[in-house]
Structure 1
Amino acid sequence: MHWAYADSSQEATLKAMQQQMLEMNKQIMALKKEVTTLRSQQKTLKTAQASSARTHKKNISVAQQTPKAIAAPTTTTQTVASTTTTTAPTPIAQSGSMVVPTEQKAQTINVADQSDDAKKNQTTVLDLLHNRGLPPPDRGASFWSPNMPLFSSATQHDETVYVGGLRIGFPGGRPTIATDDGRYSFSIGLALQEDMGSYINSGTRKGETKGRFSQFRENLRRARIPFTFRYTDYSVNITPDFGNSTSTLYEANMQYGGIKNTILTLGFFEPRITLEGSESSNEGVLMERPAAVELARGIAAGDSRFSIGGVTYGKRWYIGSYFTGHTYSSTKDNPNIIKDQTGGVLRIAGRPYVSKDIDFHLGASASSAFNVAQTNNGKQYSFSGSPGFRLTQETLIQTGALNNVSNVWEAGPEVGFRWKRFLAKAEYIEYGINRSDNNSNLNFNGYYTSLTYTILGKPRSYDIRAAAFRAPGVEYDFDPKQNHWGALEISGRWSVLDLNSHKNSIDGVNGGQQTTWTGGLNWYPSPHFRVSLNYDHIMATSTPNNPLNTRGRNMDAVAARFQAAF
């Protein structure tokens, strides 16, 4: 679960190899010059053979010396081999959580042989000086993201500095201080997302309230600053979030990663469920998750949820399970809560088939609020669907407050399929609200399907630690002079959320149905920055208990996001 990190000794090795190549090139040029001279001598000898007998004898004498001269290149070549022997690159061997140089006896390097061990070592050193071109995570790094090891360079220009037994560097772009043995470390990250956009058509009909659907609005969607403290296999993550016009705590938890392919967590955390919900917000195919997924996350998972549990995974399988409680903000902002909610989440996923060009993902998620929070107004619960972007607090479809709720649950399958640069995803989610009085239990559903194509950069890859797909990889940072354009992808999604249940019955709910068509572009000029442009077309059926949507409402919106991630 740990990755290698580049240090000054590895950079010194690379520089030594480069110097070695320069010296070899000089010697090769010298050999070419000698060969040219020998060919000139041979031409002169052939011309002289037609001269006098005296000159002929002299030419014979010169010709007898020619084999020694021709042998010179062979002698010089042996000298090249001898020279490379003394400057053979140091191989890299893995030890625990680090990749460290190991001593090796001198050996001859054949630069023409692509399979030579020294050539492989050179590639290894170069790889250590570059990351995988993927964004850092949107939370404390610790044991989660594959491109966030304890130490490895964020770009080819990053260096690790030694100061009094400490390493100071930027793994994945995060400022990190660690002891030389890697036992202690501390890092600071950033996930900043600034949104702006417009509801270009709010679709108000006669008798309806217009609502807060502004023609221009901006929103600091996320402003997370992850602090990660780590001691060997233990870590503590504290991440405040200043986004969405409020200051709150996104996470405050302790983790243990000493068991192979397992991460255990205790504290306020985001236990991730569903395929779309398991992707980092820094890497989503569109600016916001589907309404169906957001509704599922809010039951017993989602941001800053008190959690006890963990995940375990392999190359083809994944299991995540947590016992959960209230969210951090619920007890902080709601003084009416008498007894906190308790619940749990479970997600099982795997890859039945995987190859270089194909990732086939199957899974299922389920979560439940076993005991809904008790408030001064009793055990109440409500469902609602956000209209796409978080540029308003309004909702078009909603159940309203439901009384005497004993428990709430959701469950559904998920599928993902990547073929080369194409990625398709789909999920279906069933929701249930069970009531303790004589009223009927309620059932709702939601689903979506999406298609993404990577135009520039590396195609999206699969992350076994999250059983989800990662962002497209940036091979080279944006630089038009070098014809480097970063990574670019285009996405489309169709999503539906239906909050109608027994709507013609006296104890039923007519919460409405919302269908959203979304198209978008993501451009990553570098792994640390992203610019997104999305368009939403929203169609909602009537919701009698909502003055914003008594007759049914259609609207259009366009938004852009500017993201920085370190």
Structure 2
Amino acid sequence: MRHFFRAKLAGAAAGALFSLAAPTAQAQVQAAAQAQATAPVQTIAVTPDQLLALTARLDALEQRNSELERQVQELKATAAAGDQAIRKELGGTKVAVAGGRPTLASADGKFTAAFRAGVQLDASRFSQDAPGPLAADFRRGSVGDAAEADRARDFADGANFRRARVGMEGRLFSDWDYAFLYEFGGTGTEGGGVINAAWLQYSGFGRTKIRVGAFAPPTGMDDQTSVWGALFPERSAVGEMVRGIAGADGRSSLAVLSNGDRWTLSAALTGNVVGQQSFDEQVGLVARASILPVKGSDYLVHLGVNTTQVLEPAAGGPDVAPGATRNVRLRERPENRVETVRLVDTGNIDAKRASVWGLEAAGQFKAFTVQSEYFDIGVDRRASPLPSPDFSGWYVQGAWTLTGQPRRYVAASGSFDAPRIDRPFDFRKGDWGAWELGLRVSELDLNFAEGGAGTAPRTGAIRGGDQKITTLGLNWYPNAAVRFSATYQDVQVDRLSAGGAAFGAGALTPPAGAQVGQDVQIWTLRSQYAF
């Protein structure tokens, strides 16, 4: 474009100079042209001032053109820089799928989001004596539950989704962690959905963290073992019952959690479980400490203590109302959730507080693992001359990984998890994942001064029952996300009737001192995937 303007300028200048320098020649040329052409031709004369003005305008246009070219180049550079920034930002977002779990992370690691999901499908078959008439078959379930009087005599074979969870967890601004999990599984049948965990945690203090929200505060070693990596489909009866007193999933809590490579320490102030309704909510305190006094490359020893304190039981109504109570109730299922019935149950105890003290011991040597806990549970009656009852429970369990991979010890929770699957199942390569055998013996004793068979209970006695369970299990882990389990349980319940109307009116309540316990055998298959 610049050369075009210069050519125009040169042509105009030459024409002007020619007209000024040779007017006579120009006239002669014009005369000759007129003589030869059929139409006249007119010539435009340009003065020096006009030439200078034209030159100035061309210079201005040239400068304007240069300015436009500069602006275009700047726009191109800005666009290129923005494009590079966008590409860098997009390229900095990290996407990973570790163990089947999709995870997003910012380039600087300050923000993460991991999608969580897990499903456990259980199928159980129960073997027990055939049911008889209510007036002659004294097997019973929960105190005051007429429906369980029938279910206890005929357990329901079937299947249900024990857990079906979906949610997300991650990090915000480096120092904040979060989690939200929703649960659609359940006991006996599936649920419509409930908050399993919803918490926010500040982790900026290093090893010490502060967490608030709805979650399961640490109440013991069995409690802290991941449900996706536990040795058996269900926790021990006493471990499950104790965590339900002031812990358990979805418990409103404020907790301080700390751990090192060989120790854990935690304490939490707790309220009700999400979805639980009461007048004044329960106020509880749970605390736990554990240590590894011995640890080597393929062996360790774990010791721990824990406590659960119900400082104020939940109120059944306004304290000013006549007969207002603050009940504590202890009961549990036979380590199976396909059937809903509970075979041991203290019934309601009007209490001013309750306390649990627990001891933990575990050890590991290569592919062998053993774990045990003991709990002592006391309930202080409220405004009553009756003696305050005391209960207990324990379990011992062992695992042997047939394929050699040891169970993992998780330092952050002070508990064991599933074996690490270093060779996932692939029949073409001859890889079979991990296979594991498990054995557990447990007892939950909810009797207090129960007396003898055929006798009426003394004042203040509680005939909640003594439940003993032996469990044998086989686990197969094809890979880190999939698991199949088969278990056999022998359940023995020794429980005497309290008489009166403990289980309901009339034939619902057997005579005082009658045996209302039973023996049950349970076969269970579990299919699971989780990431």
Q: TM-score band (shorter)? A: 0.7 to 0.9
Q: Is the Cα contact below 8 Å between 2:95 and 2:104 reproduced in 1?
A: yes
Deviations along 1:470-515, whole A, 9 cap, x unmatched?
Answer: 2111111101111100011000111000001122431120111000
Asked if 1:512 is matched to 2:458, the reply is no
* Structure 2 residue aligned with 1:200: 127
Q: Is the Cα contact below 8 Å between 2:358 and 2:374 reproduced in 1?
A: yes
Relative distance call for 1:202 and 1:492 in structure 2 (3 A) is farther
**How much does 1:210 deviate?**
4.3
1:29-428 correspondence runs (5 A): 163=90, 165-201=92-128, 204=131, 206-208=136-138, 209-211=149-151, 213-214=154-155, 216-231=157-172, 232-244=174-186, 245-246=190-191, 247-331=193-277, 337-376=278-317, 378-403=325-350, 405-428=351-374
Asked if 1:463 is matched to 2:410, the reply is yes
Q: Is the Cα contact below 8 Å between 1:269 and 1:305 reproduced in 2?
A: yes
1:478-557 correspondence runs (5 A): 478-504=425-451, 505-544=458-497, 545-546=502-503, 550-557=515-522
Q: Is the Cα contact below 8 Å between 2:238 and 2:393 reproduced in 1?
A: yes
Deviations along 1:519-541, whole A, 9 cap, x unmatched?
Answer: 00111000000001111110001
Deviations along 1:355-412, whole A, 9 cap, x unmatched?
Answer: 1221100011101110000113521121112112101111111111222x11111112
**How much does 1:202 deviate?**
5.2
* Structure 2 residue aligned with 1:81: none
- For residues 517 and 403 of structure 2, the distance between their equivalents in structure 1, rounded to whole angstroms, comes to 40
Relative distance call for 1:217 and 1:482 in structure 2 (3 A) is same
Secondary structure in 1 matching 2:244: helix
Secondary structure in 2 matching 1:392: coil
After TM superposition, the score normalised by the length of structure 2 is: 0.72
Q: Is the Cα contact below 8 Å between 1:203 and 1:555 reproduced in 2?
A: no
Q: Is the Cα contact below 8 Å between 2:99 and 2:480 reproduced in 1?
A: no
Secondary structure in 1 matching 2:276: helix
**How much does 1:216 deviate?**
2.6
* Structure 2 residue aligned with 1:431: 377
Matched pairs, number: 400
User: Is there any run of 5+ residues in structure 2 with no aligned partner, and where?
Assistant: 1-87, 139-148, 318-323, 452-457
* Structure 1 residue aligned with 2:11: none
* Structure 2 residue aligned with 1:561: 526
**How much does 1:450 deviate?**
1.0
**How much does 1:253 deviate?**
0.6
Q: Is the Cα contact below 8 Å between 2:408 and 2:417 reproduced in 1?
A: yes
Deviations along 1:5-31, whole A, 9 cap, x unmatched?
Answer: xxxxxxxxxxxxxxxxxxxxxxxxxxx
**How much does 1:201 deviate?**
2.4
Matching residue's letter, 1:476? R
Q: Is the Cα contact below 8 Å between 1:316 and 1:351 reproduced in 2?
A: yes
**How much does 1:227 deviate?**
1.2
Matching residue's letter, 2:412? R
Relative distance call for 1:400 and 1:520 in structure 2 (3 A) is same
Q: Is the Cα contact below 8 Å between 1:192 and 1:565 reproduced in 2?
A: yes
Secondary structure in 1 matching 2:522: strand
Q: Is the Cα contact below 8 Å between 1:162 and 1:168 reproduced in 2?
A: no
- For residues 204 and 500 of structure 1, the distance between their equivalents in structure 2, rounded to whole angstroms, comes to 25
Matching residue's letter, 1:303? D
Deviations along 1:193-216, whole A, 9 cap, x unmatched?
Answer: 111111122565642344164453
User: Is there any run of 5+ residues in structure 1 with no aligned partner, and where?
Assistant: 1-160, 332-336
Relative distance call for 1:485 and 1:162 in structure 2 (3 A) is farther
Secondary structure in 2 matching 1:329: coil
* Structure 2 residue aligned with 1:29: none
Matching residue's letter, 2:201? Q
Secondary structure in 2 matching 1:190: strand
Secondary structure in 2 matching 1:293: helix
Deviations along 1:188-247, whole A, 9 cap, x unmatched?
Answer: 111211111111225656423441644531111111112124211202211110011112
* Structure 1 residue aligned with 2:81: none
* Structure 1 residue aligned with 2:39: none
Q: Is the Cα contact below 8 Å between 1:312 and 1:318 reproduced in 2?
A: yes
After TM superposition, the score normalised by the length of structure 1 is: 0.68
Q: Is the Cα contact below 8 Å between 2:367 and 2:404 reproduced in 1?
A: no
Secondary structure in 2 matching 1:476: coil
- For residues 488 and 275 of structure 1, the distance between their equivalents in structure 2, rounded to whole angstroms, comes to 23
Q: Is the Cα contact below 8 Å between 1:359 and 1:462 reproduced in 2?
A: no
Alignment RMSD (CA, Å): 1.9
- For residues 522 and 560 of structure 1, the distance between their equivalents in structure 2, rounded to whole angstroms, comes to 10
- For residues 309 and 295 of structure 1, the distance between their equivalents in structure 2, rounded to whole angstroms, comes to 21
